[in-house]
Chain A
């Protein structure tokens, strides 16, 4: 904010002090929302629209022997069925190009899509999806990341199940532990979590002239979706327009391409608009989730409560494809030591393929997992040296000019200020809890 400090401000400057920044403005679309007029992905419609439905794998790991859509195509009202063969460039991904638009030789998790049907009505599309014959040859599967790291474990992809590794070292962690007077070691685990945005994934593709395509989608990253759709469908980027509708929540779950290439291709094939909405079951089984982490924390501390060393090992269950797993792991590793001054730190992270649902982006991107661990661990370490958790934090917490294990030096660190105010709000000194 511009602060006007000159004396005797004339009227124009008083007006100036008004401004919009810092004001409690209502949402720009609040009126549309409260009257039911906001148009979300699920609300999009176009004349002559078809509905699409995915055929999904019941197996966590299987070879696809054969896909036969003949019976589905013979059902009145079915317009088109697409499979991996119809995808010109069937690979995508941010750090790892391991994901398929539709499964080709293998399925790697329950719910992975192998075909998509377009039909006149949702009812017919749903029925027809059940009539697409897919012959599978089940393969050994692995569901535990620790088991997946062992030699001889079923291989989710060629090249081993460790999809990514990351380490951060600062100081000399062995020396740090040797200088410690008390060492506390704990293991933490976090679960698979669904975004549960209230609006499911939903998109409508409309074919345009000269092979162009407009896709309305409930998505957080329309530009990424446009470039990925253009890539997998081998179309010029200029032919793909993606418009984000009103989005009924995302939290990372609508961070990437999902149903857009399917409705896009079906629209191009049929020359008609195609709409698709995921069911809640598909949201849980087939879309990305928050990665489950196993985290081993080991911390060396002096009896006076000074932190000297910390090592953290993180094992992230990636699920069947990397998606945002590697970048999530990086963010987790960078923050795993917590907001503390610790001279000797070692962080190691492993991203491990399994035949579980695909881990993706979710609000906090790996840091809620390590945040749970480092803050609970902090209370354990404080207890081990006989300090109360607040005194211990105030003693070791980051301040201006402190350095992270990455070497980055921080400015304007307000940790202590926020803690002090939170304690006051909670009435801590007055003893809010009997």
Chain B
């Protein structure tokens, strides 16, 4: 018999290392034509950080993103970055780039202030123009100022910046401290169909709603969430290295089951954007948290469907059948839909 159920799970997750320093640094140069080069040590491992960081640099300088060239992840040529880990790159490398751009922009604004007849603090830049904040029609091309700064004033337009989130280590006695500077939140809902004869679980649908602060690039954020859900689905149902005396028995992708296109259901994604004032343009992060609620949401949905609580991942057909049989033994003749077994201890 096939039975359907649904489950929810939510989570909180921090951005950056646990207490340890995890800085990023960035360099920026604005060229005479108003284009820019950004040097960052951050590595794009597929999550799209280079694209998101270019978008941050573009808006921080006030130039079109098409004019930003990124130089990344080379220990000789780029400034230090602790790495593409801990869901930290958008937040930390992004903040470093904003700071580098602020420094470059200060040079631009000082040069532009002569032309626009107002101090640098009264200026803004956007989309290739530098303009007076209160009289935006008074403006000059950013490229013109960059050229003037370099060629006439002898002040090449460069900037450097770094960021390290303020954290404290945990007290060894109490475990108290502030190991992270910011958190993200999410909730997911899973709908499953459980075959009570075979123990097989089919995930019908996942709804995933994540707060990543400001989404610098919603297309890439969605991609992170969808991919995380797939990884969480594998964690829930199929992925398990089988070991015998330390030897892995399933060392092939035919035997260790990563979800395929037929296993991953349609995923409804929504991004909740609550900007964080400590992040670049309010952004936080999304890389790791996307996978967290999926496995418990699926396992809770299995419970909702057939009334058995799987406490060991993955929830394989064998484990589900075994749990169903045990449940049958405990409560002979009762329907698997009964849900009183919250297993209170006493």
Contacts and interface: CB of A to CB of B under 8 A. Distances in A.
B151 interface: no
A330 B245 CA distance: 28
B65 interface: yes
Contact of B136 (A10, A190, A280, A281): A10
B41 interface: yes
21 contacts: A1-B282, A18-B127, A21-B59, A25-B220, A26-B219, A143-B245, A184-B343, A190-B235, A191-B314, A194-B241, A220-B83, A249-B45, A330-B179, A357-B248, A363-B288, A364-B289, A372-B295, A372-B296, A383-B339, A385-B342, A422-B187
Q: Specify which of A10, A20, A380 lies most central, judged by the most chain B CB atoms within 10 Å of its CB.
A: A20
Contacts of B51: 25-28
Interface in A360-381: 361, 363-365, 367-368, 371-372, 374-376, 379-381
Q: Specify which of A226, A283, A333, A371 lies most central, judged by the most chain B CB atoms within 10 Å of its CB.
A: A371
Given A16-B127, A363-B228, A412-B274, A426 B241 contact: no
B46 A250 contact: yes
Interface stretch (B101-109, B203-211, B327-335): B203-211
Interface in A380-401: 380-385, 389-390, 393, 397-398
A185 B342 CA distance: 10
Given A16-B136, A226-B75, A421-B272, 13 more contacts: A1-B282, A18-B127, A141-B246, A168-B170, A189-B311, A191-B312, A191-B313, A194-B239, A221-B85, A280-B253, A364-B13, A384-B343, A422-B208
Contact of B176 (A12, A170, A222, A246): A170
Interface string A175-215: 00000001111111111111010000000000000000010
B200 interface: no
Q: Specify which of B55, B59, B246, B309 lies most central, judged by the most chain A CB atoms within 10 Å of its CB.
A: B246
A35 interface: no
A434 B275 CA distance: 38
B207 A334 contact: no
A189 B210 contact: no
Contact of A422 (B13, B81, B174, B207): B207
Contacts of B236: 372
Interface in B220-248: 220, 228, 231-232, 235-236, 239-241, 243, 245-248
A176 B173 CA distance: 20
Contact of A22 (B5, B214, B303): B214
Contacts of A141: 245-246
A345 B182 CA distance: 22
Contact of B179 (A354, A355, A357, A406): A406
Interface string B122-155: 0010110101000011010000000000000000
Interface stretch (A63-71, A122-130, A235-243, A266-274): A235-243
Q: How large is the interface on B (under 10, 10 to 19, 20 to 34, 35 or more residues)?
A: 35 or more
Nearest to A30: B51
B241 to A, nearest CB: 4
A99 interface: no
Interface string B276-320: 100001100001110111011101100100000111111000000
Interface stretch (B28-36, B66-74, B157-165): B66-74
B44 A285 contact: no
A190 B313 contact: yes
A46 interface: no
Nearest to B139: A12
B9 interface: yes
